[in-house]
């Protein structure tokens, strides 16, 4: 007689912070837990100031039945933020206000595990109070993770501003970090942006483990450092599990989007430069003009995701990405659209990025080097024209150009404030038709194969997840 033994599976709750750069990788991880490991998942969504793109994302028809989505009711932020509140500070205040009912939610749904991201670490205390195991999902690079773990020590040892240091920051176990590459959130220690970032990084080692959205083949130095270097052991860093690259495997293509792929289908292989600045990136009016005229001068095929320029902030679209109230003819140079017809395609505000990067005609990606965009590009074997705008993107651009060798970065001419059209023309030609571009494309395709291997059954990232699932299962 065969006796069947019922194995009770863990119930995992995800608590992401707002913004597509956090929602997408955590949700993709949630889907993998359901599909590959039969985990029950509840996904909490902060709806306050949610963008149109976020709302559309969670209406996708392919959400697995094992994921329950709970929308946290909107809260009024009018008394706690104003027009001068910076993006990260606003996001963190939003999280703080939105998570006030979290304790009652957790008591009601009774999970075994809570997974937070870098900006929802307030939930760690509640999870501990309720005797729930808690893990962190680090959505950025392993390189930034090592810096984040080192930051509280750096904060205690350095007086004055980090940007005034005369030498690079010696992050334990990794390459020194140039001062000019420091992420925006640590460039002014007096403002709320820095205080919030320090608050959250200080809590990374309070969890039972850290999931890292990277893989061994992309960042071996940083991953080795965080596992083996004595500094990270001394601060009691929890186990770090590289489980990436976690990106959208496919996208729902709307009727409006289909014309993009009709156009791509008739272009030669590797001939199109895709130009997009992530979920919130914006250029100044002067820089946007130089960019599009440089594209025109290069005579290369391109898809441009056009967004209203902003002279005030490089992240002006963060809270309204996907808003269709955008007419490129209002702000692009006169005659540009007509002169580039057939060679270029202009898409207002938002485009199905993963699908475009996966198309055979896409040959390179002009990107702000946000980590999600970086992973999407490399997972599709597409080299990058690096154009960092904000946050840690300069760090990512340096990693891609100097360590990994899959990117090229245009430079600002001495005495200028923007990248000129001639430099843009030059770099576009290099990456699209030069020998250097071919080498980068080959390396990018090798990383694509490396990523696929890591995610497959028995691969390093798959095994990382399986190990943690076994830990969860053994404790319930």
Q: Single out the catalytic residue among 117, 181, 184, 270.
A: 117
Strand order from edge to edge, sheet including 344-348: 344-348, 301-306, 272-276, 362-367, 384-386, 407-408
Spatial contact of 320 and 20, defined as CB atoms under 8 Å apart: no
Q: Single out the catalytic residue among 11, 22, 200, 359.
A: 22
Sign of CA dihedral 422, 428, 433, 434: positive
Give strand ranges (E) for 47-152. 67-72, 113-117, 133-138
Burial of 255 (0-12, 13-18, 19+ CB in 10 A): exposed
Two structure tokens written together for 56: 């559309």
Spatial contact of 183 and 394, defined as CB atoms under 8 Å apart: yes
Per DSSP, the three-state class of 36 is helix
Q: Which residues contact 291 (CB under 8 A, 6 or more apart)?
A: 275, 283, 419, 421, 424
Q: Which secondary-structure segment (H or E) carries 41? A: strand 40-46
Give the C-alpha separation, 439 to 219, whole Å.
19
Q: What are the φ and ψ backbone dihedral angles of 106, each rounded to 5 degrees?
A: -65, -40
Catalytic residue list contains 368 = no
Give the C-alpha separation, 67 to 172, whole Å.
39
Distance of CA 327 to the CA centre of its chain: 27
The dihedral region occupied by 336, where left means phi > 0, alpha psi between -120 and 50, and beta the remainder, is alpha
Catalytic residue list contains 22 = yes
Per DSSP, the three-state class of 177 is strand
Adjacent-strand bridge partners of 115:
14, 135
Q: Which secondary-structure segment (H or E) carries 102? A: helix 102-109
Give the C-alpha separation, 216 to 294, whole Å.
37
Q: Which secondary-structure segment (H or E) carries 398? A: helix 393-398
Strand order from edge to edge, sheet including 210-212: 67-72, 40-46, 11-15, 113-117, 133-138, 210-212, 240-242
Give the C-alpha separation, 378 to 367, whole Å.
12
The catalytic residues are 22, 117
């Amino acid at each position: 007689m065969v006796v069947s033994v019922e194995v009770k599976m863990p119930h995992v709750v995800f608590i992401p912070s707002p913004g597509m750069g956090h929602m997408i990788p955590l949700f993709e991880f949630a889907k993998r837990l359901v599909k590959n490991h039969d985990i029950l998942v509840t996904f909490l969504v902060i709806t306050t100031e949610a963008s149109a793109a976020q709302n559309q994302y969670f209406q996708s028809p392919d959400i697995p039945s094992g994921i329950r989505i709970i929308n946290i009711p909107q809260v009024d932020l009018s008394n706690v933020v104003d027009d001068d509140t910076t993006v990260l500070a606003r996001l963190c205040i939003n999280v703080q206000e939105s998570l006030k009912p979290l304790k009652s939610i957790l008591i009601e749904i009774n999970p075994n595990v809570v997974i937070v991201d870098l900006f929802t670490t307030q939930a760690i205390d509640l999870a501990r109070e309720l005797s729930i195991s808690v893990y962190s999902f680090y959505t950025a690079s392993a390189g930034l993770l090592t810096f984040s773990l080192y930051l509280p020590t750096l904060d205690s040892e350095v007086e004055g501003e980090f940007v005034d240091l005369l030498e690079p920051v010696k992050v334990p176990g990794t390459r020194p970090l140039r001062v000019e590459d420091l992420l925006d959130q640590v460039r002014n220690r007096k403002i709320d942006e820095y205080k919030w970032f320090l608050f959250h990084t200080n809590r990374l080692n309070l969890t039972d483990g850290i999931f890292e959205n990277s893989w061994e083949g992309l960042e071996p130095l940083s991953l080795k450092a965080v596992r083996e270097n004595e500094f990270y052991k001394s601060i009691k860093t929890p186990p770090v599990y590289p489980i990436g690259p976690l990106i959208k495997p496919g996208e729902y293509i709307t009727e409006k989007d289909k014309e993009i792929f009709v156009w791509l289908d008739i272009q030669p292989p590797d001939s199109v430069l895709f130009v997009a600045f992530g979920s919130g990136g914006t250029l100044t009016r002067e820089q946007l003009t130089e960019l599009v005229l440089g594209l025109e001068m290069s005579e290369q095929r391109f898809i441009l995701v056009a967004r209203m320029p902003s002279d005030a902030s490089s992240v002006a679209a963060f809270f309204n990405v996907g808003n269709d109230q955008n007419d490129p003819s209002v702000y692009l140079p006169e005659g540009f659209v007509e002169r580039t017809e057939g060679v270029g395609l202009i898409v207002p505000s938002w485009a199905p990025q993963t699908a475009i990067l996966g198309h055979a005609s896409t040959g390179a990606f002009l990107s702000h080097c946000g980590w999600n965009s970086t992973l999407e590009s490399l997972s599709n074997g597409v080299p990058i024209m690096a154009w960092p705008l904000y946050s840690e993107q300069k760090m990512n651009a340096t990693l891609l150009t100097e360590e990994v060798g899959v990117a090229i970065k245009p430079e600002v001419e001495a005495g200028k404030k923007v990248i000129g059209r001639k430099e843009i023309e030059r770099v576009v030609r290099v990456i699209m038709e030069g020998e250097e571009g071919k080498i980068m494309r080959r390396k990018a395709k090798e990383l694509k194969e490396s990523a696929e291997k890591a995610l497959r059954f028995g691969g390093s990232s798959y095994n990382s997840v399986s190990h943690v699932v076994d830990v969860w299962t053994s404790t319930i």
